[in-house]
Structure 1
Amino acid sequence: MRSIATRRIFIAAFLVLTLLPSLQMATRWLPELDIDEQRTLAAPPSMAHPDRYLQQANSWFSDHFGLRALLIRLKATVDYRLFRVSDKVHVGRDGYLFYRSTLDVEKPAVDAYLGTHEAAVVEGVRRYAEALQQKGIGMVMVVNLLGDRFLPDKLPASVAERPPLRRIDSLLNKLKQVPNVTFIDSTAILHETERSRPIFHRTDFHWNDPAAYPVAKGVVDAMSRAEGLAGSAWTHPLSYETQSYSGGIARFMPLLRSPTEKSIFVTPSWQWPGGFTSVSGPAPYTDVSHVAPGSKGLLHPVLFVGDSFMDAWMRNGMAAYFEASYRLRWGEGLRLSAITSAIPSDARWVTVQFIEVQQAALQAFADKADVTRSIDLLQARAVR
């Protein structure tokens, strides 16, 4: 009798679990959780294309059945907590997380691209830097390697055992030798910095802000020397604190509760110059800053072209050391000619930063025809 009762309970529980999604879908009696899947969910089926109706209905149901988000989160949590795996994230040692798309797709793609385009990238940088110099504009370049290069001991074995992809190293070595380019070796700076403090978040793709501090300062130091200042325009010391944090990779995993860490963040220790203002836009810039006319001890205006790693420069007070600054952000299709058209008339510096998998930057300099258009734009520019 007990065995029969147990079987009935099991069957009843199975039926309830089977029917719950349909019941939830019909009644929505429980609030649904949200999941950022980085894609557009399937739309309801339409009779506009009868031959595809069943396929559309199946896709729509798969994306919208009741309790879907909860079930996805439950599965992802079990995978992560018990087996230390995730569909879209490499789970490393000591709580370090790495995007699968970055290590599995983007880095191999860049390595393959450089296999055929490295010389074109270097030549494009050389030609463009020379054209800038002829117009009295200095070029500074910073390329950021990602966390897996600095933390190989934190990678899961499945990634650590792969053959290394090192064409990016060859590119950086060549860029260091390009005339008229002030190349800031962020890799060397970060290797020195990691001797005293962490340089990357555990749950986020990015370097932490205190790691960006010496690189941003190195940029300002080099510009200060080039402008003949008695000392560096950069005057503020590094100040930082520890905070609880759950970064973008952690939030990207659809868990019931995202992993957290204790990470370090800068605290402001700089002084904004008199009359300093910073605004979003106008297009094509993401933000623009100015100071009061006649402010002393500042560097000449600069156009910054960078990605999300450059955001950490700004959180370190970078804009406080320029008479004016203008920012552009790398994105698909941003061409060098568009960057050139956006160089303000008062700019004396163009500072280019990009991470090692930023294909938009590599393609911008490898596009020979567009580099030529950019140089033509510079040559038509009046000399100030």
Structure 2
Amino acid sequence: MTNADDMPGSPRPEVQRRSTLSRRVTTLFVGLLILAFCLPAFLFLTGLQTNTDQISRSERRVLQGLPSFEGDARAYTAQMDDYLEDRFGLRMLLIRLARKVRDNLGENPPNVIYGQDGWLYLGALKYRDEFEGQGSWSNERVERWVESLSNVNAALSARDIPFIAFIAIDKARAYPEFLPEDWQEGTRRFRSFVYQHPDAAQTGLIDAERYVMQAKAAGKKTFYSRDTHWTADGTYDLAMAIMDRFDPDGSLPRYMPAPAQVRESERLLDLDAMAGFERSNEPPALMIGFPQGGPDGLTRLEPTAPDSPHVGQFATVRSDGTHDVGDKRLVIVGDSFADSMLGHFLPSYADIIRIHHGAHLFDVSLDEVLAYEPDAVLFATAERQAAQKDQPFQPIRP
């Protein structure tokens, strides 16, 4: 008797199994695809989405609120489009996923490199080139830096105004042990060439790297693991060395009037933000708030030129210091690495002026510095910014 499975035209059992498995896989794939399309809308409609903040800290902007119809249909629909784009479910997850896909496809180099043990580093090609000794700067730029700092130091010394400068060490050099394994540190460094110049003694330079690495050797975490900047704890020794040079015989309350207080961070660390995160996982013990010297116990920050085209961190900013130290004033020409140290100087000055020195801004002039009638001047910039900038100050006019 002939078996039905052996009859012509009847599929064999293994073929049937493969066909059944194929249909199940196809059904599962289609189901997951439908779920992927529907889940963001479901989370949005039910209010279960996680991105309910009014401000996106990683994008540094206010999210669009639900618009109200006021008679202009075109404006209403445009605002509604913005609202839906800002509020759909899993928004930040999908943005990070799209960014990761673009980075892996080579459409643009990643801004953030994931190192070991959760550490993040700047990933732009120019920063890696500088770290590995392939920076595009020339010896002529080193000469301009040394000449510029020397001229400013001499001009301020003639007015009995102490001047100190430093080029900060970058995070990749301070913590190379957490870098990806394919990053190899080079010896051709812009910072080293400036510090080793025969005329470096005339520049007012202080070796920031020495004090930061000294703090690291003492067990302090000198850089945030998910931010490009150094910690206040890691720069305390450097700040005290600077104050010793500014006022070696004075009786100013240069050392902290009370122990540094640990607090929760109220800001998103920059590498977290660049990687698309809305919250930082940095341990709060590293966020150090210094006792403030104002009459209300707070520090006041205000732009000195509200109409400046450079807003926010790129404006010239005045910070209240301690009011019972006379009218001493410190002027800092620096970038965000200088901002991280402000707390160390607040007990010693009535106010501090910070003139931003970003690599993308024009050179600062000595006239601008002198206009604030400083009692001391500090120039401070990141190693990566210095390597990109032509010179630190505009040439002094004859």
Unaligned runs of 5+ in 2: 1-15, 62-84, 102-108, 306-314
Measure how far apart 1:333 and its partner are. Answer: 2.2
1:326-365 deviation line (CA, Å, top 9, x unaligned) = 111123223222x532533532322110010114984243
CA deviations on 1:289-329 (whole Å, 9 max, x unpaired) are 3665xx45x6842211111122222233x122124321111
Report the AA paired with residue 247 of structure 1.
L
Distance in 2 of aligned mates of 1:216 and 1:90? 30
Structure 2 distance, partners of 1:32, 1:324, is 42
Once the two structures are superposed, residues 159-217 of structure 1 have per-residue CA deviations (whole angstroms, 9 ceiling, x without a partner) of 1x3544423212123398342x4332211111221122221121221111111222222
Conserved? CA contact 1:238–1:266, under 8 Å: no
Output the amino acid matched with 1:343. Answer: L
Q: Secondary structure of 2:227's match?
A: coil
162-171 or 148-157, which moves further after superposition?
Answer: 162-171
Whole-Å separation in 2 of the counterparts to 1:66 and 1:365: 46
* Alpha-carbon distance in structure 1 between the residues aligned to 2:116 and 2:162: 42
Distance 2:327 2:199 in 1: 23
Partner of 1:220: 243
Give the aligned partner of residue 316 of structure 2.
285
Q: Superposition pairs for residues 167-182 of structure 1, below 5 Å? A: 167-174=190-197, 177-179=200-202, 181-182=203-204
**Counterpart Cα distance in 1 of 2:322 and 2:39:** 58
Shift of 1:2: 5.9
Alpha carbons of structure 1 residues 134 and 256: separation in structure 2 relative to 1, 3 Å = closer
Q: Does 1:153 align with 2:177?
A: yes
| Counterpart amino acid of residue 148 in structure 2 | G
Per the normalisation by structure 1, the TM-score is 0.69
Q: 2:215 aligns with which of 193, 217, 233?
A: 193
Which range is displaced more, 164-173 or 260-269? Answer: 260-269
Secondary structure of 1:358's match?
Answer: helix
Q: CA deviation at 1:253?
A: 2.3
Alignment match of 2:27 (pick from 12, 16, 35)? 12
Moved more, 269-278 or 282-291: 269-278
CA RMSD of aligned residues (A): 4.4
| One-letter amino acid of the structure 2 residue matched with residue 134 of structure 1 | A
State the distance in 2 between where 1:3 and 1:266 align.
63
Aligned to 1:45: none
Larger Rg: 2
Q: CA deviation at 1:151?
A: 1.8
Partner of 2:70: none
Counterpart contact for 1:239–1:266, Cα < 8 Å:
no
Query: How far apart, CA to CA, are the structure 2 residues paired with 1:244 and 1:277?
Result: 17
The amino acid that maps onto 1:239 is P
- Residue identity opposite 1:286 in structure 2: V
C-alpha contact (below 8 Å) 1:141/1:183 kept by paired residues: yes
Aligned counterparts of 2:161 and 2:349: Cα–Cα separation in 1: 15
Q: Decide which moves more: 142-151 or 267-276.
A: 267-276
- Find the partner of 1:311 among 329, 339, 343: 339
Tell me the number of residue pairs that the alignment of Structure 1 and Structure 2 aligns: 333
Cα distance in 1 between the residues matched to 2:181 and 2:333: 36
Contact 2:291 2:297 in 1 (8 A): no
Identity of aligned residues (%): 19
What residue number does 1:326 align with?
353
Hey, what does 1:166 align to over in structure 2?
189
| Equivalent residues of 1:304, 1:325 under 8 A apart | yes
CA distance in 2 between counterparts of 1:77 and 1:260 reads 22
- Distance (whole Å) between structure 2 residues aligned to residue 178 and residue 165 of structure 1: 21
Q: Offset of 1:287 from its aligned partner?
A: 1.9
User: Which gives a bigger RCO, structure 1 or 2 (Cα 8 Å, sep 6+)?
Assistant: 1
Identify the residue that residue 364 of structure 2 maps to in structure 1.
336
Give the partner amino acid of 1:346.
E
Letter in 1 for 2:339: D
**Structure 2 equivalent of residue 235 of structure 1:** 255
- Distance in 2 separating the partners of 1:323 and 1:66: 49
